[in-house]
């Protein structure tokens, strides 16, 4: 792990500016990146090993969806792994309560330590399988990044959004086949193209809404 994390600050700050986010976010985001890189060396939390690659592929990729969560109160990040996109979104959106749902014990331990070290009072960790997570409340939205197909995400976590709730799924190319097989009770609300600084690949945010009961 030869990369000095702070040397990545200019690259991250430029990416934040391109996304319309404050450059001051670079400091807590780099603290998260340093912690992730350190734990990853031992616990293999993510297949991306180089912190420089993590800037675009993890941090900026996660933050590209921030405009779609900044007006929400609650968000559940399903199968969050090392906290993506949930932790970058929580750092950039202090008014958003983020619940990180992760069944893997070592990843859940990392998430709790990251929330503690970064002072993220708006982050909770639920060490649970998605389908078994019953928090006793509903979320404004659920999100997932590279977790599963849209129908499977809804099969596992469709009980978590409230009546007006959304699934905000991060995808590469538009998943037309997945959209065509959405389960009953759900409909496509929108597909938002995302531009991720430093990432030369298609990215889309697929917004799926629960059908409203007919009057």
- pLDDT tens per residue, range 83-109: 999 999 999 999 999 999 999 999 999
Quote the number of domains for the chain: 1
- Does residue 172 belong to any structural domain of this protein? yes
Give the domain extent around 178.
5-210
Domain presence at residue 204: yes
Is 215 part of any domain?
no
Q: Is residue 22 part of a domain?
A: yes
Does residue 100 fall inside a structural domain? yes
Domain assignment present for residue 99? The answer is: yes
Determine the pLDDT at residue 118. 97
pTM exceeds 0.85: yes
Q: Provide the CATH number for the domain around residue 136.
A: 3.40.50.150
pLDDT, tens only, 144-199: 987 789 999 999 999 999 988 999 999 999 999 999 999 999 999 999 999 999 99
Query: pLDDT tens, 187-198?
Result: 999 999 999 999
List, in order, residues 6 or more apart from 214 with CB less than 8 Å away: none
């Amino acid at each position: 792990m030869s990369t000095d994390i702070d040397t990545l600050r200019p690259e991250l700050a430029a990416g934040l500016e391109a996304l319309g986010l404050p450059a001051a976010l670079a400091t807590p985001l780099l603290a998260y990146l340093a912690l992730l890189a350190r734990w990853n060396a031992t616990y293999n939390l993510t297949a991306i090993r180089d912190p420089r690659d993590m800037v675009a592929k993890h941090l900026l990729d996660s933050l590209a969806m921030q405009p779609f969560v900044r007006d929400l109160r609650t968000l559940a990040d399903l199968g969050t792994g090392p906290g993506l996109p949930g932790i970058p979104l929580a750092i950039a959106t202090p008014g958003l309560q983020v619940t990180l749902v992760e069944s893997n014990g070592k990843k859940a331990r990392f998430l709790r330590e990251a929330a503690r070290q970064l002072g993220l009072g708006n982050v909770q960790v639920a060490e649970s399988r998605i389908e078994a997570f019953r928090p006793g409340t509903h979320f404004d939205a659920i999100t997932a990044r590279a977790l599963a197909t849209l129908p499977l995400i809804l099969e596992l976590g469709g009980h978590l959004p409230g009546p007006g709730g959304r699934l905000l799924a991060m995808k590469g190319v538009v998943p037309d086949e997945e959209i065509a097989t959405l389960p009953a009770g759900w409909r496509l609300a929108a597909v938002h193209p995302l531009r991720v600084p430093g990432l030369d690949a298609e990215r889309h945010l697929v917004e799926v809404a629960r059908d409203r009961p007919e009057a």
